[in-house]
Structure 1
Amino acid sequence: MSVKIIAVAKSLPEFSRSTEEILPFLDLWLSEQDDRFRKKVKKIFENAMVDQRYSIMSPEAVFGTASFEERNNIYITEGIKLGKACLQAALEKANWNARDLDYIITVSCTGIMIPSLDAYLINALNLRQDIVRLPVTEMGCAAGISGIIYAKNFLKSNPGKRAAVVAVESPTSTLQLDDFSMANMVSAAIFGDGAACVLLSADENEEGPEIIGEEMYHFYNSEELMGFHLSNTGLKMVLDAEVPEHIANHFPAIIQPFLKKHEVSLEDIDHLIFHPGGKKIIQVVEALFEHSGKNILDTKEILRQYGNMSSATVLYVLERFLDKKPAKGSLGLMLSFGPGFSAQRILLKW
């Protein structure tokens, strides 16, 4: 059974600032830290390869004294708006009606809401009462691809069915103002907020790249590398400096057996659709591909324009490739990394 990606659409919060405009807020936030530390943090921001970022809150609120509850309430309210907007935009792109959907999968890790986002979207867009819903949480940056994998598994044995994957993230609302660790500084420098929706179909008559392979890869004994610690003040970033090194060490095992299973090699891949985890991860991936003639320019451009929006970011990269209308028969490799530690992979054929 062929499962295809039909459309991708994004939605962005109302607040946006360039990195240059954020720097004065760092001065206020870090005013009681020593001068050397402040300069180091500014350099992290300036060299993060992020020119612009969006947020569900104004910079004054992000760097303000709002409680965990207050920030999470904004996450819920604004997250519903962003989820509705990107789902509507994707449906319009595909020329689908909201009631055409059979499955809805929502992914997020940057806030807490029960009922989950999918329940609100059912009411907001009058989706069918028998729609199957699946909220995916706690998978971090990998969850955008995870959601597509779950949707593919729903659809592959259900001819004619349709699914939506909606990713909504607000890393800026998790900023910990009393945490001066490098993990929190790097997180603040690379992350931004955003949402995206992917529509998939098991209808043979629809046009779009086909998912011809999908797999997850789990790093043993690496739970401490990445994630969140739920503290009294909210979600506190866990980000080990050795993440890029671990990715480099595992990269051959992540890529080569997966491609070999589908009787293709890296040389056969035309489009690299990678999640922009941050500057160091991008540099590692670029170095691994430097002799192959491949590039991840689209990944770098998304990081530059929006920052790392956790699970939604790789979907922004995917949208860029769909908009280019790749040649028939060309192959695309999607890849993202997330807590666990894990890597998620999808092989696409146009």
Structure 2
Amino acid sequence: MVKIKAVNKAIPEFSRRTAEILPFLDSWLHGQEDRFVRKVKMIFENAAVDQRYSFMSPEEVFSSITFEERNNIYISEGIKLGTQCLRGALQKASWLPSTIDILITVSCTGIMIPSLDAYLINNLKMREDVLRLPVTEMGCAAGVSGMIYAKNFLQANPGKRAAVVAVESPTATFQLEDFSMANIVSAAIFGDGVACVLLSSCEEDEGPAIIDQGMYHFFDATHTMGFNLTNKGLKMVLDIDVPDKITQHFPAIINPFLERNNLGIEDIDHLIFHPGGKKIVQVVESLFGIYGKNIDDTKEVLRLYGNMSSATILYVLERFMNKKINKGEKGLMLSFGPGFSAQRLLLQW
């Protein structure tokens, strides 16, 4: 069995409550029509995000610093926080860095070559033969994707350990001269965050077991979510049809996956869902609510931190790892990302 040993998060230096962001909007939207300004502020106020954290100060976010400067902050802060987060996870697990056999890093909000894992190996003095797997361009789904890759490696290699580290700075992708709804909604719901999950196929390690995993791909939906690389940075692509797409595909995403494990939604005790945004949360909440299930922890992570892309699902998972959960209870991890795709993990405590 592959088990989840520990989850840890690292909080970026800068933070603001939504009410504190509104004055920055006045400066950014200066010269726009009053009606448009009111609409933008309403989007921020109704995004179900009370606070967000970032690698850079709000003054830097809402400034004309270049793509290069933003990316350099993503690199320096990502290395610092990634190192801090992985070190903290290892301490939680009482593992030495040298016991990690595969290191998987996931990110989509900046460009770094060598990839983050190379820096983590150096900073924590990990083994020279540790395997590296940087996962990029999978967006919000990559936290679960990284866990799926780790699980497959560990299942094929008993007695090994893996670390998955997610580092994301969506604020580094903010476009100062872009007044599209995609850029505005992105700014309203996203924040920066770093998280790490440790997994093991060692007999002596305890934790909830991953009993199944799977990916589900939506055909002809590559246009719905992602980034366009422009001269001024990564420009958000976010189609308004995403919630409807999820609703349409939801039975095909969930039911066959559970049925092959002789389960139904009614058998799932804990829903560990990625909070893509208020509308997606409401869609999923209504779909699960029919069965008397809730995604309260998902909503709370969105409220406290915003959507941190791939790291967010690990923030939700940490909340469940910190609870006293009865042996035998089951959890379903679910996240969505560019492609368009859904990533799923079935857990059992």
- TM-score (ref. length: structure 1): 0.99
Say if 2:281 is the partner of 1:282: yes
Q: 2:160 aligns to what? A: 161
Distance in 2, matches of 1:326 and 1:133, equals 33
Q: 1:259 aligns to what? A: 258
Q: 2:8 aligns to what? A: 9
Q: 2:324 aligns to what? A: 325
Equivalent residues in 2 for 1:57-76, closer than 5 Å: 57-76=56-75
Q: 1:34 aligns to what? A: 33
Q: 1:53 aligns to what? A: 52
After superposition, give the CA deviation of every residue in 1:63-112 in whole Å (9 maximum; x if it has no partner): 01110000000000000011101101100110000111000000000000
Structure 2 letter corresponding to 1:50: V
Equivalent residues in 2 for 1:72-221, closer than 5 Å: 72-221=71-220
Distance in 2, matches of 1:242 and 1:205, equals 46
Distance in 2, matches of 1:278 and 1:37, equals 21
Distance in 2, matches of 1:32 and 1:308, equals 29
Say if 2:230 is the partner of 1:236: no
Q: 1:224 aligns to what? A: 223
Distance in 1, matches of 2:81 and 2:140, equals 18
Distance in 2, matches of 1:190 and 1:326, equals 30
After superposition, give the CA deviation of every residue in 1:165-190 in whole Å (9 maximum; x if it has no partner): 00000000100011110010000000
Structure 2 letter corresponding to 1:258: F
Corresponding residue SS for 2:322: helix
Q: 2:293 aligns to what? A: 294
After superposing on structure 2, the runs of 4+ consecutive aligned residues of structure 1 that deviate more than 6 Å are none
Structure 1 letter corresponding to 2:51: Q
Structure 1 letter corresponding to 2:41: K
Q: 1:337 aligns to what? A: 336
Distance in 2, matches of 1:292 and 1:325, equals 23
Distance in 2, matches of 1:23 and 1:325, equals 39
The structural deviation recorded for 1:275 is 0.1
Corresponding residue SS for 1:122: helix
- Which stretch of structure 1 is more off in the superposition, 287-296 or 43-52? 287-296
The structural deviation recorded for 1:317 is 0.2
- TM-score (ref. length: structure 2): 1.00
Distance in 1, matches of 2:194 and 2:88, equals 11
The structural deviation recorded for 1:304 is 0.2
Structure 1 letter corresponding to 2:91: E
Structure 1 letter corresponding to 2:177: D
Q: 2:306 aligns to what? A: 307
Q: 2:270 aligns to what? A: 271
Distance in 2, matches of 1:74 and 1:190, equals 21
The percent of aligned pairs where both chains have the same amino acid is 72
Q: Which runs of 5 or more structure 1 residues have no equivalent in the other structure?
A: none
Distance in 2, matches of 1:22 and 1:345, equals 34
Q: CA RMSD in A?
A: 0.5
The structural deviation recorded for 1:142 is 0.1
Q: Which runs of 5 or more structure 2 residues have no equivalent in the other structure?
A: none
Structure 2 letter corresponding to 1:175: F
The structural deviation recorded for 1:204 is 1.7
Corresponding residue SS for 1:197: strand
The structural deviation recorded for 1:325 is 2.7
Structure 1 letter corresponding to 2:68: E
Corresponding residue SS for 1:156: helix
The structural deviation recorded for 1:28 is 0.2
The structural deviation recorded for 1:41 is 0.4
